[in-house]
């Protein structure tokens, strides 16, 4: 067991270019995602009255927030932004997979070269594999969405929506 771990770490250290690239990739995503969320959340926190204010102000804040989210299209631009971010990452994913697996296999080549060579040589194959993977993973989604909207109608007002959806989310 320890040998496998050791071997794994050793082969990881033999990929300095891939490690640095992935680190920078994660760092940039983390930074921009954090800044994006902060640009939404912090102004809202400046509007949140807190429980020390009179007249049920926080209660009204939450109720109005719920009405705005559920009765208007306020959420749509944010959902689009997140969807575009996800699509970009999904496009990059099979390319990164191709680069990493190729690099692990062809340690005889230059670290940076083999990374890009992997993308060039195996990118298309990994893309096809990824599309199939996603298609199979998402196959039950139409059924789940139907179920969720049915439960949404039934449980939204009683506040038991999450509890009702949990078994399906877990599945």
Q: Kindly provide the b/e burial profile for residues 66-80, where b requires at least 16 CB atoms within 10 angstroms of the residue's own CB.
A: eeeeeeeeeeeeeee
Among candidate residues 164, 115, 163, 161, the one with its CA nearest the CA of residue 14: 115
CA distances from 116 to 103, 110, 145, 164 (A): 9, 10, 39, 47
Binding status of residue 82 toward another protein by CB under 8 A: yes
- Tell which one of 90, 128, 145, 162 touches another protein (CB under 8 A): 90
Q: What are phi and psi of 151, to 5 degrees?
A: -70, -30
User: Between 51 and 80, how does the x/- string for binding to another protein read (CB under 8 A)?
Assistant: --xxx-x--xx-xxx-xx--xx--------
7 or 26, CB closer to another protein? 26
Site for another protein in 118-137 (CB under 8 A): 134, 137
Residue pair 47/61 in contact by the 8 Å Cβ criterion: yes
Residue pair 120/106 in contact (Cβ under 8 Å)? The answer is: no
Nearer to another protein, 86 or 166 (CB): 86
Residue from 2, 5, 13, 50 touching another protein (CB under 8 A): that is 50
Q: Please report where in the chains the tokens 């749509």 appear, as a residue.
A: 76
Per CB under 8 A, 86 contacts another protein: yes
**In the complex, which residues of this chain contact another protein (CB under 8 A)?**
22, 25, 30, 33-34, 37-38, 41-42, 45-50, 53-55, 57, 60-61, 63-65, 67-68, 71-72, 82, 85-86, 89-90, 92-93, 96-97, 134, 137
């Amino acid at each position: 067991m320890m040998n496998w771990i050791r071997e794994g770490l050793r082969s990881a250290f033999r990929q300095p270019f891939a490690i640095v690239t992935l680190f920078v990739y994660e760092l940039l995503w983390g930074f921009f995602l954090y800044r994006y969320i902060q640009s939404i959340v912090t102004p809202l926190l400046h509007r949140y009255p807190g429980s020390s204010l009179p007249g049920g102000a926080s209660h009204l804040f939450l109720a109005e927030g719920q009405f705005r989210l559920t009765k208007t299209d306020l959420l749509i631009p944010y959902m689009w932004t997140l969807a575009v971010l996800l699509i970009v990452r999904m496009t990059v994913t099979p390319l990164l997979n191709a680069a990493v697996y190729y690099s692990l296999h062809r340690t005889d080549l230059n670290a940076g070269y083999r990374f890009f060579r992997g993308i060039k040589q195996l990118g298309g194959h990994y893309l096809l594999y990824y599309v199939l993977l996603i298609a199979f993973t998402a196959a039950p989604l139409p059924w789940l969405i139907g179920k969720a909207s049915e439960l949404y109608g039934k449980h939204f007002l009683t506040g038991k929506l999450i509890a009702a959806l949990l078994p399906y989310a877990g599945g």
